[in-house]
Structure formats: structure tokens, C-alpha cells
Structure 1
Amino acid sequence: MSLPPTSQGAQPHHNHPAAAASPMPETEWSTGLFDCFSDLKNCFITCLCPCITFGQIAEVVDKGATSCGASGALYSLIYCLLGCGCIYSCVYRTKMRQQYKLKGTPFLDFLTHCCCETCALCQEHRELQNRGFDMLIGWEGIVERGKEAVARVPTAPAVQPMTR
């Protein structure tokens, strides 16, 4: 009697629908939570005005659906009313983790932001930079830069027909 393909010890077939639906493994963050000194400029800005860093993160994570200014202002409002912006910012850490398959859980995201808000924001900012996003130009600038890069790619010359 042969075992069905899904039994223990059987090798999955790569064209099998279950193999295609298997989730991607989670990866480590590119930098640690306390690696703030690798980007002192952002660390300084985040310590003085975390709403700026948060706004930049939110704009990129939302792919331009929310603006840096609006997200930063809402973060500031929540911070002023409740005394902590982590209630809002931890949601974006979760979104970012899910987009890039980074290790963690929503509960750990919340704890990280409650205990180490500025370090969490700095880590998220570094992660997006390490993934190639220029955080200073915003989502529209990132999209425009991408279009310019595509426009500069040389095209192959037209094939000339052979004549005798």
C-alpha cells in the first residue's frame, strides 16, 4: 500500500497547489532595535520630533495613500491627547512586518513601541532605507525616481533588415 503524497516523508511536488500556497518564511530585521547609532541624523530627529519619522514611515508603508504630514499630525494629536503615540505607530510596525515578512507579532509590535518608541521608529526607518527607499523624498518622489530610472534604460537598436 502506498502512502498519499501529503503523508509524512513524502516530498511535495513543486507544481502542487499546496506548495504554491505555502507562506514565505519570516526574515530578520536588517538592523537591531538598538542600532540607532548607525544613523545618528535620524536618531536625533526622531528623539526631538518622532512625528516626522513616523510620518515618513507611514507614507512609504501605505504607498502614498496617506501623506507624511497628515500621518505625522495625527501621531502628534494622539501623543498630545493620550501621552503616547505608540497606540498609532505600532499599527504601522505590524503593517510593515506583514508587507516584508519580518519576524514578530502584533503584541510584540505594541510592546516594542510602548517601551522603546523612538528606537522602534528608528529601526523601521532604517529598514525602509535598507530596502532602497529614500525616506526624504516621500512616496511620490520614490515613484518619480523609479519612472526616471525606467526611462533612462537604453533600448535595443531597431533590427535592420538585411539587404543585398
Structure 2
Amino acid sequence: FEDYYLTCVYVPNSKQELRRLDYRMVWEDAFLAYQKKLEEKKPVIYCGDLNVAHQEIDLKNPKSNHHNAGFTDEERDKFTAVLNAGMIDTWRYFYPELEGVYSWWSYRFRAREKNAGWRIDYVITSKALESRLEEAKIYTEIMGSDHCPVGLILKDE
């Protein structure tokens, strides 16, 4: 796009027994460095499955999932580093305390029917786009996958 970069991403999953956690930590650092390099030219937006529930309100059962892939302290700390690097989690920008809105549900145990999910799909933007943020979306009503789409509406300049 003329006034920003758009990157769609799938962040590596740390897997059972966290066997890919070390790989993921290296990947996270490299990806953030890449986004910050792009940002030197123009703002960035990246979106997709980031495979992390950042806060306890981003998943239904935080206590029983602590230390599981997607909710380890290490993964959450890397996401905090993204925010500290001047990026915006657009959903939490608009809904800082809203609970019970998720973007992924296991196919097992009728999780979606029970809304026992995780918010692991995000739209992240550069701070430079803050004035253009109009609305963040999680389209929970759209079926067809264990994930639902997420979106962002920007104001015209």
C-alpha cells in the first residue's frame, strides 16, 4: 500500500511440551526486527495467527493453560516487547478490558459452542497509524475454521 506496509503472518507454534519454544523465541526477535526495519520507510500493519494469548483475558481458562504453548511467560513477554517497541494491539486499543471475545477454539470438547477460546489472531500497527484507527473487529460469527477472521478499519487520511 502507498502509505503503509501490510504483512500477513503465521507465527510458529511452540508445540506440545514446548519443543519449538527456543526456535520461536529466535523467530520472534527476527520478525520484530524486520517490522521495525520496514517501519523506517513507512508504518506497518501486520496481522494473522500470532499463536499467543497475551493477557489472561485473552483466553477462557488462563490458569489451566499457563505454561502451555501460546500462553507461556516467554511468549507473552515477546508480545509485550512488540508493544514496547511502539506497536499497537488494535483490539486491546479499542477494548482494553473486554473479556470473552476469542478468535480460535479447539475442535474438541465443543469449545466454540461453549466459547472456550483464545484470542491469538491479531492486527498490529505502528504507533504512527494511531490517529487512523477507527475500529477493530473479531468476526466470531464467521464459521468454517477453528479460527475466525479479524480485521481493522482505518480512517482515510
Could you state the TM-score of these two structures normalised by the residue count of structure 1? 0.27
Choose between structure 1 and 2: higher strand proportion.
2
If the length of structure 2 is used for normalisation, what is the TM-score? Answer: 0.28
Larger of the two Rg values belongs to structure: 1
